[in-house]
Amino acid sequence: MTAPAMVDAPPVWMPSRYTQPIENPDYSEGDMLIRLAEAVFVFEQSDEFGLDAWQKWLIREVLQKYPADYENPALAGKLVYQQVVISMGRQNGKTVLGAVFALYGLILMVRRAPDVISLASTVEQAKNLYRKTRYCVDNVPLLESRFKTTDRSGITSKNPRKPANYVVKAAGDGKGLQGFSGNLMLLDELHILKPGAWNALVLGASAQPKALVLGLTTSGDDNSELLKLLYATGEAAVAKAEDHNPRFGFFFWVADPELPLYSPEALIQANPAIASGRIDLESELRNGKGMQESEYRRYRRNEMVSVENIWMPMPVFNATKHGPIPDAARRQPLIISFARSRRSWDYVSICASVKYQDVVYTQLIGTITFGNTELLERKLIELSRAVSVEKFVTDAETMRQTVLALGQQHHLPAEYMTRGNIANATATVHSMIKDGRLKHAGDPEIEQQIPRTVTVSAGQGVVIDMNKSLGDIDAVYAMVMGAFMAEQQQPMSVPISIF
């Protein structure tokens, strides 16, 4: 009796779902790029560069060609995919991979006049990929002798008889891309781009005999209209559904939704760099437990998330209850933060926060009801005379005038936080609470508002939103701003008065 043939298990780093290769694909184009990248590619962090096994596999799959004897002569020798979407968790090396593909566009893709376009929601975001490509060109003599790099104009050929271009653009809504036609178009972070941008580039690519529109991304949220459309197109291509696009490539690393939130297997499924051992699994699990759940799901499990989420589970917040700020901590200079209820002066909450022995202590120290800006200014000035205040802090959207009055008229240290600052505070204070680096006094007003506090997506992260929250959250808002600023305090050697 003949023993059954052994079938090798697929590598653990394979995507959760992907478009299968055609029958007898020609992988020569990908093989050439792999040899080129490993021969010449360098980047800022290290001159030693080697592609992981999953990156080599992905490059070969993305650049597979129809064989020379393909049944349809019109397709023989052409790239199988005209559009490709690659999605995986954050920090897996997507930008480096994009820079490798940029070299392909400049050097290998076409014999004459290659055009590479790098796009993102902003020019600065698009330059993340460009900077890695530029560093390689500037620091490899073989490439430096052939190309000229600039801050604004991208990369061009030094030989006018052999033109080549790499330009960087903001995608916008796509209207500014009408008429753009390139061989290789690289789009970064599809979850914040508009459908018009992708559609304009696909239309422009159709004018080229050889072209590829390639998007690299992490997952998004309810507002990620383009990404949801591309995911649907990709899933149809994977399933070979009726009327699917056979020239659409889709490579999707995502966690199984049935796995527990902090399952190691979920991180392995969504992150090929973890699966291949380049990033440490245990470290990522530890770091992930300090993240807000929606961010962890989106950036590490690579799952689509709701645009609105409750900021902090009540049991997690209650676990850091300490009581009033300790006497020794009160003797340090204090951060005094304040915020008012949304769209009214019904309530203004005032919090004190201070960093002491590497822990931030925070406490609600006052509430003004049915006040106004003059009353608030007077109370804050009185407070500055009673205790040592390192800084008054509030938000720019509703309380800018109060901060300006404190600073310009009363010469008190005062600062307002922009929405971007508050987005940083949202993530930082969440992590501080989870890690036990923040202790709160158990104030009833804050405890009542925690379950109402909602975050919304903001760029690459989330931000507490007063308007979307399920009621007034002035006390939580003040606490978050104050704790964030206190975390940045330097220790004082001389104690001062207690409030």
Question: pLDDT tens-digit profile of 405-416?
Answer: 999 999 999 999
Q: Of all helices (H) and strands (E), which one includes residue 454? A: strand 454-458
Residues 6 or more apart from 75 whose CB is under 8 A from it? Answer: 66
CA angle (448, 346, 466) in 5-degree steps: 55
The confidence score (pLDDT) of residue 128 equals 83
Give the helix ranges, DSSP H, for 391-467. 396-404, 419-435, 444-449
How far is the C-alpha of 493 from the C-alpha of 429, rounded, in Å?
25
Give the helix ranges, DSSP H, for 264-395. 264-270, 272-275, 281-288, 293-299, 314-318, 327-330, 373-386
How far is the C-alpha of 301 from the C-alpha of 90, rounded, in Å?
9
- For residue 37, the number of C-alpha atoms closer than 13 Å in the C-beta half-sphere is 27
How far is the C-alpha of 345 from the C-alpha of 366, rounded, in Å?
14
How far is the C-alpha of 264 from the C-alpha of 115, rounded, in Å?
42
Q: What are phi and psi of 453, to 5 degrees?
A: -80, 120
Q: Where in the chain is the domain with CATH 3.30.420.240?
A: 314-487
- Supply 113's token pair: 């006049």
The confidence score (pLDDT) of residue 98 equals 93
65 secondary structure, DSSP code: B
Sheet of strand 308-310: strand arrangement: 308-310, 454-458, 461-464
Inter-residue contact 171 to 187 (CB < 8 Å):
yes
CATH number of this structure's domain 314-487, picked from the four choices 3.30.465.10, 3.30.420.240, 3.40.190.10, 1.25.40.10 = 3.30.420.240
How far is the C-alpha of 214 from the C-alpha of 217, rounded, in Å?
10
Q: How far apart are the first and last CA of the chain?
A: 88
State whether residue 299 is helix, strand or coil.
helix
pLDDT digits (tens, 9 = 90+) for 230-285: 999 999 999 999 999 999 999 999 999 999 999 999 999 999 999 999 999 999 99
CATH architecture of 17-258+266-272: 3-Layer(aba) Sandwich (3.40)
Between the alpha carbon of residue 478 and those of residues 173, 201, 250, 275, the distances in Å are: 36, 45, 44, 41
State whether residue 306 is helix, strand or coil.
coil
117: which strand partners? 167, 185
Strands 438-440 and 359-369: parallel
Q: Where in the chain is the domain with CATH 3.40.50.300?
A: 17-258+266-272
Strands 438-440 and 248-252: unpaired
Question: At 167, which amino acid appears?
Answer: V
What percent of the chain clears pLDDT 70, i.e. is strictly above it?
96
Strands 184-188 and 212-217: parallel
The per-residue pLDDT of the chain, averaged, comes to 90
Give the helix ranges, DSSP H, for 261-332. 264-270, 272-275, 281-288, 293-299, 314-318, 327-330
415: which strand partners? 393
Closest CA to 209 of 184, 187, 185, 183: 183
The parts of the chain modelled with pLDDT lower than 70 are 1-7, 47, 491-499
How far is the C-alpha of 400 from the C-alpha of 368, rounded, in Å?
18
Closest CA to 378 of 409, 357, 353, 354: 409
- Supply 276's token pair: 């291949």
Q: Counting runs of H as helices and runs of E as strands, what totals does the chain give?
A: 18, 18
